[in-house]
Structure 1
Amino acid sequence: MTPNLEALKFGADGLIPVVTQDARTGAVLMQAYADRAAVERTLTTREATYYSRSRGEQWVKGATSGHTQRVVSVHLDCDGDSVLYRVEQTGPACHTGEYSCFHTPLLEGEETQTGLDGTLERVYATITERLATLPENSYVARLHAGGLDRVLKKVAEEAGEVLLAAKNGDRAELATETADLLFHTLFVLAEVGVSSADVAAVLRGREGRSGLRGPKEAG
């Protein structure tokens, strides 16, 4: 028997709501439904699987679009009547091409995120989606067409701009140029196939009890 599956409380229609969250950014991507077989398949294959109420059949996210969801973990809510899929999303989650299905605001909230947490992940996800689809008039598509050397040249250029802004003590310019440097660095990672999770793993490995160790100390 699949672990904990008996704890699921399916509705009269045999379905249970599934909320899907990006495991890297924490963003809620979509909400759908699953029957018992879909949940079982998800747990077995780690491919996000749902049940279409309109078509009356099981479906695997990304099977036709290529915008797949690799399931990192599955959680049951406290009442057992809904499920959370935490996934690694490839490309946009919404059929409209948006990163998340929840992109239409009904009430604009105050921005509470002031740091980089989550932002870099969303930028990286957008870059990888653009590289996969190469949409017309996309900066990512144009830069990609120039080859890796062109991207590397941009990294070097932006690094120089960061140094100059810092030397001049221009805080606003330094923030802007650092953003440009981070963007193009993420671009290089995506081009070469290194994930942001790979970089995060290295940084976590350098975290000591007394703080973050430098590269030479990490060994």
Structure 2
Amino acid sequence: MDTNNVLQSSQIDFEKQNGLIPAIIQDSKTMRVLMLGFMNQEAFEKTQQEGKVTFFSRTKNRLWTKGETSENFLYVEKMHLDCDNDTLLIFVRPEGEVCHKGEDTCFGKEKNTANIHFLQHLENTIEKRSEDIPENENSYTRKLLNKGVHKVAQKVGEEAVEVVIDAMRADKERFKEECGDLLYHLLVLMRSQDVKIDEVMEVLEKRHK
């Protein structure tokens, strides 16, 4: 959690809404809104102490740490209080799915693929597929990584050539498909080198500056 400008419970107006405040949960990487919950003062203080989002469940009438059963915790990166001091915006690093329906966000699965941040979702999927567990034995990603970096790098080179060929042919549909293949295999190669998208973005940002 970002320790700079840490909020104090005394700054928050819990009394305005009968002891509860809404807490908007947003992914710190993708910037997607993941869910909305409610906190009382005890839940807020527990969240700060443990670094994992804890709500006050109105249905269970008790504190509820997101992930206490599923282990899909929401790790706090930073918090912001709105101008009326009665609503929290919490940026998190989610561990696994957020919604109880198995989706990354409680606001509909279409948001997973509607923007560029899907690349980070794909990166997470590749990371999971790379794990040495029985359910991944037949995964193409896992099989490719098992062949070693030379094979993965070769696939990136092959896909790059296909991108160039279809660009020269002005075949837009095939070009888009090959670009998708290239991006996927590049992410697999990055995984083999333990390099994250965020690290590459940092390089590009420094160049831009």
TM exceeding 0.5: yes
Q: Secondary structure at the match of 2:161?
A: helix
User: Are the equivalent residues in 2 in contact too, given 1:35–1:51 (CA < 8 A)?
Assistant: yes
TM-score (normalised: structure 1): 0.73
- 1:12-91 matches, cutoff 5 A: 12=18, 14-91=19-96
Tell me, yes or no, if structure 1 residue 5 matches structure 2 residue 2: no
44-53 or 141-150: bigger deviation: 141-150
The whole-number CA distance in structure 2 between the counterparts of 1:163 and 1:15 is: 57
User: Are the equivalent residues in 2 in contact too, given 1:24–1:88 (CA < 8 A)?
Assistant: yes
Residues 176-203 of structure 1: CA deviation (Å, up to 9, x unaligned): 2112211232244456543322221222
| Residue 168 of structure 2: aligned partner | 167
| Residue 177 of structure 1: aligned partner | 178
User: Are the equivalent residues in 2 in contact too, given 1:17–1:33 (CA < 8 A)?
Assistant: yes
Q: Secondary structure at the match of 1:146?
A: helix
TM-score (normalised: structure 2): 0.76
Q: CA RMSD in A?
A: 3.2
Are residues 141 and 37 of structure 1, via their aligned partners in 2, closer, same or farther at CA, if it must alter by over 3 Å?
Answer: farther
Q: Secondary structure at the match of 2:78?
A: strand
> Residue 86 of structure 1: CA displacement?
0.8
Q: Which amino acid aligns with 2:118?
A: T
The whole-number CA distance in structure 2 between the counterparts of 1:130 and 1:48 is: 27
Q: Which runs of 5+ in 2 are unaligned?
A: 1-5
Residues 2-60 of structure 1: CA deviation (Å, up to 9, x unaligned): 63422312232x22111101111111101111121221232233222222222233233
Q: Which amino acid aligns with 1:124?
A: E
33-42 or 144-153: bigger deviation: 144-153
User: Are the equivalent residues in 1 in contact too, given 2:129–2:139 (CA < 8 A)?
Assistant: no
- 1:193-212 matches, cutoff 5 A: 193-208=194-209
Q: Which amino acid aligns with 1:6?
A: S
| Residue 212 of structure 1: aligned partner | none
> Residue 168 of structure 1: CA displacement?
2.5
| Residue 143 of structure 2: aligned partner | 146
| Residue 121 of structure 1: aligned partner | 120
Are residues 21 and 135 of structure 1, via their aligned partners in 2, closer, same or farther at CA, if it must alter by over 3 Å?
Answer: farther
The whole-number CA distance in structure 2 between the counterparts of 1:22 and 1:141 is: 31
The whole-number CA distance in structure 2 between the counterparts of 1:122 and 1:145 is: 17
> Residue 76 of structure 1: CA displacement?
1.1
159-168 or 30-39: bigger deviation: 159-168
Residues 96-140 of structure 1: CA deviation (Å, up to 9, x unaligned): 1111111179xxxxxxx7xx64332333345446667x897x9x9
What is the aligned residue count?
Answer: 196
> Residue 159 of structure 1: CA displacement?
2.2
Are residues 91 and 135 of structure 1, via their aligned partners in 2, closer, same or farther at CA, if it must alter by over 3 Å?
Answer: farther
